[in-house]
Amino acid sequence: MLKFTEEHEWLKIEGGVATVGITVHAAEQLGDLVFVELPEVGATFEKGGDAATVESVKAASDVYCPLDGEIVGVNEAITADPSLVNSDPQGAGWFFKLKLANVSDADGLMDEAAYKELVG
Amino acid sequence: MDGSSELKKTPLHALNVSLGGRMVPFAGYEMPVQYTAGVMKEHLHTRTAAGLFDVSHMGQVTVRARSGDNADAARALETLVPVDVVGLGEGRQRYALFTNDEGGILDDLMIANRGDHFYVVVNAACKDQDFAHMQAKIGDVCELTLHDDRALVALQGPHAESVLAELWADISSMRFMDVRACDLHDADCIVSRSGYTGEDGFEISIPAALAETVCRRLLDHPDVLPIGLGARDSLRLEAGLCLYGNDIDTGTTPVEGALEWAIQKVRRKGGEREGGFPGASVILDQLENGAARRRIGLRAEGRAPVRSGAVLATDPEGEDVVGTVTSGGFGPNVDGPVAMGYVIKSAIAPGTQLYAGVRGKFLPVTVAAMPFVTNTFKR
């Protein structure tokens, strides 16, 4: 199940765990990333909490936690090479895996068609 | 984007949009923050080939003595800046600072001696107040004209000379900070060998109506890419150059800003034309005795950029605060974070270990000499 947020994140939800990243649109808007800071495995966040930080040459931006949950995995490959987020944002450039507090929370997020409408 | 309808457009606006420029509000203008190549590629391209920047938002002012004697204009300008203008030869340009009575910096600018007048380039965000300031202080002696009818572009990078020479000969004999009139494509241009990137290059003032034609000709050259404000900022930061409003402002003096080099001997204590500019008592005293704080460069040990506003401390807990970062980001050629900021006198020595507050943590940074990249001016 692929879901999207208004903050331009995608969630691929399998068995109560969401793999989270930023959308192609978000990666294009941010431009070339030079630094990524990921959360600690085991950290818990509420929806909207600052889970990660990305920095382009020009500016820093927060990546919000899309739903309540616990971090159960992070993608160290993007801290070693932030450009992966630009080259493959919805694949190899994923950010973290989030064990959802309530799987049904995801029902409130957008599907791909609705997200495409949002970003035009 | 509220108020975008009120934003001004440069003579190159249509060209910027057609080149894929991502337009953002900047200093009252709609300006390209980047083009399709993106900030990183634009930055690196400028350092290896040549980049073309639209800087038409900056203010171009001619200063003409009402007496007809250009020396009168030079003397008038010297009442506004701590710089040797009288000794500036015809066809030469010099960096200068408008100071206030407290020794603070109202703006930084370039002054060129064009023989029968002076030509001044000031920052976009300051140009209206600079013009009013000049009008009030020297308007009786000089006729001042703000040239909104001219575009200004910068061609920067190691290939800038060969590109310009290929299209229009006779610029290779120019040295760093030379200024001359030049016909480019039958456009009556003013060319200076200077810039804001740390690279060799040229700034070209062009009549607005012909600006797009001249720029398209330059962009036709395979070595030239259009470069936006994003890369302009990272290039100037790597070159250790100040951004007015960030690194220098009315609350900083030229000495605090480490800009003593801009104040020639003739305007200092014991000089032939000592003082005579706003804030002279403060600035001349600081030139002799130093200032309590100073602008310094910073390199970070990690990969996290340290940006404007970050607090600087001597300890990793961030308790002994000694300064603040005024500009910072990622340096594509340095391949790491670079920053500049102000610290108290005891912390200015290169190699001093400091800690910068970034998102609640204090990250190790080291005071470093600037520029962060070697400049390639043709002196």
B108, B248 Cβ separation under 8 angstroms = yes
Q: What pLDDT, on the 0 to 100 scale, is given for residue B167?
A: 80
> Which residue on chain B is closest to A54 by alpha carbon?
B304
Which positions in chain B touch A53 (Cβ < 8 Å)?
359
Q: For tokens 């691929």, name the residue.
A: A12
Which positions in chain B touch A37 (Cβ < 8 Å)?
304, 359
Which positions in chain A touch B332 (Cβ < 8 Å)?
57
The token duo for A8 is: 């331009």
Positive or negative CA dihedral for B176, B181, B182, B185? Answer: positive
Q: What three-state secondary structure class fits A8?
A: coil
B interface mutation test: which of A29, A50, A58 has the most B CBs within 10 A?
A58
Flag if A35 and B329 touch (Cβ within 8 Å). Answer: no
Which positions in chain B touch A58 (Cβ < 8 Å)?
33, 39, 230, 233-234, 329
> In chain A, what percentage of residues exceed pLDDT 90?
96
**Residue boundaries of the structural domains of chain A:** 2-119
Q: What pLDDT, on the 0 to 100 scale, is given for residue B168?
A: 77
CA dist A83 and B38 (Å) reads 13
Q: What pLDDT, on the 0 to 100 scale, is given for residue B192?
A: 97
B90, B115 Cβ separation under 8 angstroms = yes
**A41 pLDDT exceeds 90?**
yes
Q: What is the pLDDT of chain B when averaged over all its residues?
A: 96
Mean pLDDT in order along chain B per 10 residues (379 residues): 73 98 96 96 98 98 98 98 98 98 98 98 97 98 97 98 87 95 89 97 97 96 97 98 98 98 98 98 97 98 95 98 98 96 98 96 97 90
CA dist B85 and B225 (Å) reads 35
CA separation, residue B198 to residues A14, B95, B335, B344, B372 (Å): 52, 14, 16, 27, 10
The pLDDT tens digits for B49-83 are 999 999 999 999 999 999 999 999 999 999 999 99
CA separation, residue B204 to residues A87, B146, B151, B160, B180 (Å): 37, 16, 8, 12, 10
Q: What pLDDT, on the 0 to 100 scale, is given for residue B226?
A: 98
A34 touching chain B per CB within 8 A? yes
**A104 pLDDT exceeds 70?**
yes
Q: Kindly report the three-state secondary structure assignment for every residue of B229-296.
A: HHHHHHHHHHCCCCCECCCECCCCCCCCCCCHHHCCHHHCCCCCCCCCCCCHHHHHHHHHHCCCEEEE
Q: What pLDDT, on the 0 to 100 scale, is given for residue B169?
A: 66
Nearest CA distance, A1 vs chain B (angstrom): 33
Instruction: For domain A2-119, give the CATH number.
Output: 2.40.50.100
Interface of A with B in 39-68 (CB under 8 A): 53, 55-60
Nearest CA distance, B81 vs chain A (angstrom): 32
Q: What three-state secondary structure class fits B183?
A: strand
Which positions in chain A touch B303 (Cβ < 8 Å)?
34-35
Over the range B115-153, which residues count as b (16 or more CB within 10 Å of their CB) and which as e? eebbbbbbbbbbbeebbebbeebbeebbebebbeebbbb
> Which residue on chain A is closest to B331 by alpha carbon?
A57
Start-to-end Cα distance in chain A: 22
> Which residue on chain A is closest to B338 by alpha carbon?
A57
- Whether cis (ω within 30° of 0) applies to the bond prior to B371 is yes
> Which residue on chain B is closest to A52 by alpha carbon?
B359
Beta-carbon contacts of residue A107 (< 8 Å; ≥ 6 apart): none
A88 touching chain B per CB within 8 A? no
Q: What pLDDT, on the 0 to 100 scale, is given for residue B362?
A: 97
Alpha helices in chain B (DSSP H): 13-18, 39-48, 70-78, 127-138, 160-167, 208-220, 229-238, 280-289
The pLDDT tens digits for B136-184 are 999 999 999 999 999 999 999 999 999 999 887 689 999 999 999 998 8
Largest CA distance in chain B: 63
B260, B65 Cβ separation under 8 angstroms = no
CA dist A5 and A66 (Å) reads 7
B159, B172 Cβ separation under 8 angstroms = no
C-beta atoms surrounding B316 within 10 Å: 13
Nearest CA distance, B34 vs chain A (angstrom): 9
Positive or negative CA dihedral for B79, B82, B87, B88? Answer: negative
Flag if A58 and B230 touch (Cβ within 8 Å). Answer: yes
The pLDDT tens digits for A44-60 are 999 999 999 999 988 89
Nearest CA distance, B303 vs chain A (angstrom): 6
What is the set of domains in chain B, with CATH numbers?
4-55+149-238 (3.30.1360.120), 292-373+375-379 (2.40.30.110)
CA dist B97 and B80 (Å) reads 8
Nearest CA distance, B329 vs chain A (angstrom): 6
Q: How far is CA B309 from the centre of its chain?
A: 21
Q: What pLDDT, on the 0 to 100 scale, is given for residue B5?
A: 62
* Continuous segment of H or E residues that includes residue B300: strand B293-300
Q: What pLDDT, on the 0 to 100 scale, is given for residue B1?
A: 43
The contact set of B with A (CB < 8 A) is 33-34, 38-41, 43, 230-231, 233-234, 303-305, 307, 329-330, 332, 359
A87 touching chain B per CB within 8 A? no
The token duo for B71 is: 């020396």
Q: Which of B40, B303, B304 sits opposite A57 (nearest CB)?
A: B40
Over the range B34-48, which residues count as b (16 or more CB within 10 Å of their CB) and which as e? bbebbbbbbbbbbbe
Q: Which DSSP string do the residues of B37-67 spell out, in sequence order?
A: T-HHHHHHHHHHSEEEEE-TTSEEEEEEETT
Q: Strands A9-14 and A2-4: what pairing? A: antiparallel
> Which residue on chain B is closest to A56 by alpha carbon?
B330
Judge if pTM exceeds 0.90.
Answer: yes
Flag if B234 and A35 touch (Cβ within 8 Å). Answer: no
Q: What three-state secondary structure class fits B210?
A: helix
Which positions in chain A touch B329 (Cβ < 8 Å)?
57-58
> In chain A, what percentage of residues exceed pLDDT 70?
100
> Which residue on chain A is closest to B302 by alpha carbon?
A35
